[in-house]
Structure 1
Amino acid sequence: MTGAGAPAPEQPLIRGEHIGGIATLTLDSPHNRNALSGRLVAELHAGLVAAQAAPDIRAVLLTHTGTTFCAGADLREAGRFGPRDLVALLRAIVELPLPVVARVTGQVRAGGLGLLGACDISVAGPGAGFAFTEARLGLAPAVISLPLLPRLDPRAAARYYLTGERFDAAEAARIGLVTLAAEAVEAADGAEAVDRALAPILDGLRRGSPQGLAESKRLVTAELLRAFDRDTEALAEQSARLFASAEAREGMTAFLERRDPAWLR
């Protein structure tokens, strides 16, 4: 019980639930579109650690509340949450011995796209939308390229990195950003379509042995981890340099103020 005059306890930004061999971690920070704040990332790390420690868990399901899966880094925390913090989160997902599955029914941008790249399997619904908007802010998708470029079609990566165009779940599946685009089902909403597509995937993971899942994941993530080992320092430095630039400050300020940046005037 909270004493008189004491502040109310903060609500968690990650909600965790363990049912039927699956640890569900829900991004629950809709006020900033599930942006990657320092607190949300710390809670997500803790959720991954707890799932790994639970002997009955076979996989992690990463999902979200609201209409956005993840909008990327919280721009209001610039200077407190940096590129190496994001690298640590992405690598933790890739190295986790449990398969990590993403359930996407909303919009995904920037660091949220990196989360999808780090996940082993991802299913997106008809209401999902994607865009690499960094170039429009004076930035580049530097750190998130660690898990993404080994998975993405190179020509598609060039197009969407450079143009910032939005694309849907079907295109995301075609280019390798997500595993599966759930098709709309008559008289069902997008979330129901995603859950229907996820059911056989999660059932298959429940049937795996801990050793079998861990060693199989080790095989399919080997190339991603080589990219982390090879390119982390260069990409983290590029990201830090761009975020500190005058052009990026103008781009991020314009975004927050909902106006065009100076280079469009």
Structure 2
Amino acid sequence: MTTAPLVRRAHDRGIAVLTLDSPHNRNALSAALIADLTDALDAAERDEAVRAVLLTHTGSTFCAGADLKADGIGKGPGLLVGLIRRIATLAKPVVAKADGHARAGGLGLLAACDIAVASDAATFAFTESRLGLAPSVISLPVLDRVDPRAAGRYFLTGERFDTAEAVRIGLVTAWDEALDGILAGLRAASPQGLAESKAVATRSLREALDSGAEELVRQSARLFTSAEAAEGMRAFVERRDPSWAL
């Protein structure tokens, strides 16, 4: 039996439209979804008719983060680093459009994209600290985009925030009403101009990936196997407060 792809592909006047289509787990970053998305990005880079990539989603969630039910802790952090690196090194710009919720690793995916827009239906939260974890791997793209004081607040508290705040702190580039103008600008730019301009814009993120990714993957694996993380994830599944909540 052939498994349906978790990322749908379409083409719209020079834009490769990639749609996360795994609503059963809120577009969580499973190994299968990461593989499908990486394949789609590779195909977009090879296609001379593609000027840029638009990453969107089905359902009410842009991306819920890691899929622990499907993959456990295993190779998840390393696979996510590989996806972030693929987006950063792609010769073509990647634009994300969030019409729904983004949590944990989903915010890393959003931040890895060169441009991100969101609607008023979107909400955002770095939920890791409430589960006994930390935003280890995703801190690489997030800290490259977000105001440091805001990142410190939301990393530590796990508070939910809206699109207006996401734009204010730099996690999101603009409201979704700006998307048409953004895509028009990308269609008007030369392939060489886009590739070289993206290389300039992503230099600090690529350097951070080269220097810090391995350590953060190790941190993530250590935290996921801790007693506090086990309690945090049990509490989440059981819809109760963890033992440390005051």
TM-score by length of 2: 0.97
CA-to-partner distance for each residue in 1:108-151, whole Å, 9 max, x for gaps?
A: 00111001111000001111100011000000001001111121
Match of 1:18 among 3, 11, 14: 11
Q: Give me the whole-angstrom Cα distance separating, in 2, the residues matched to 1:264 and 1:170.
A: 29
Q: Give me the whole-angstrom Cα distance separating, in 1, the residues matched to 2:210 and 2:3.
A: 36
Q: Report if the CA contact (8 A) 1:75-1:252 is conserved.
A: no
Q: Give me the whole-angstrom Cα distance separating, in 2, the residues matched to 1:81 and 1:12.
A: 21
Match of 1:232 among 202, 210, 213: 213
Q: Give me the whole-angstrom Cα distance separating, in 2, the residues matched to 1:81 and 1:254.
A: 24
Determine whether 1:256 maps to 2:237: yes
Q: Report if the CA contact (8 A) 2:31-2:76 is conserved.
A: no
State the SS of the aligned residue for 1:36: coil
CA-to-partner distance for each residue in 1:83-126, whole Å, 9 max, x for gaps?
A: 11110000100110100000011000011100111100000111
Tell me which stretches of 4 or more aligned residues in structure 1 moved more than 4 Å: none
User: Unaligned regions of 5+ residues in structure 1, if any?
Assistant: 1-6, 183-193
TM-superposed CA distance for 1:80, in Å, is 3.9
Aligned residues: CA RMSD: 1.2
Equivalent residue, structure 2, for 1:135:
129
TM-score by length of 1: 0.90
Q: Give me the whole-angstrom Cα distance separating, in 1, the residues matched to 2:149 and 2:245.
A: 27
Equivalent residue, structure 2, for 1:220:
201
User: Unaligned regions of 5+ residues in structure 2, if any?
Assistant: none
Determine whether 1:206 maps to 2:187: yes
Aligned residues: 245
Match of 1:66 among 55, 59, 69: 59
Equivalent residue, structure 2, for 1:188:
none
TM-superposed CA distance for 1:167, in Å, is 0.5
State the SS of the aligned residue for 1:264: coil
Segment drifting more, 43-52 vs 229-238: 229-238
State the SS of the aligned residue for 2:244: helix
State the SS of the aligned residue for 1:10: coil
Equivalent residue, structure 1, for 2:39:
46
State the SS of the aligned residue for 2:97: strand
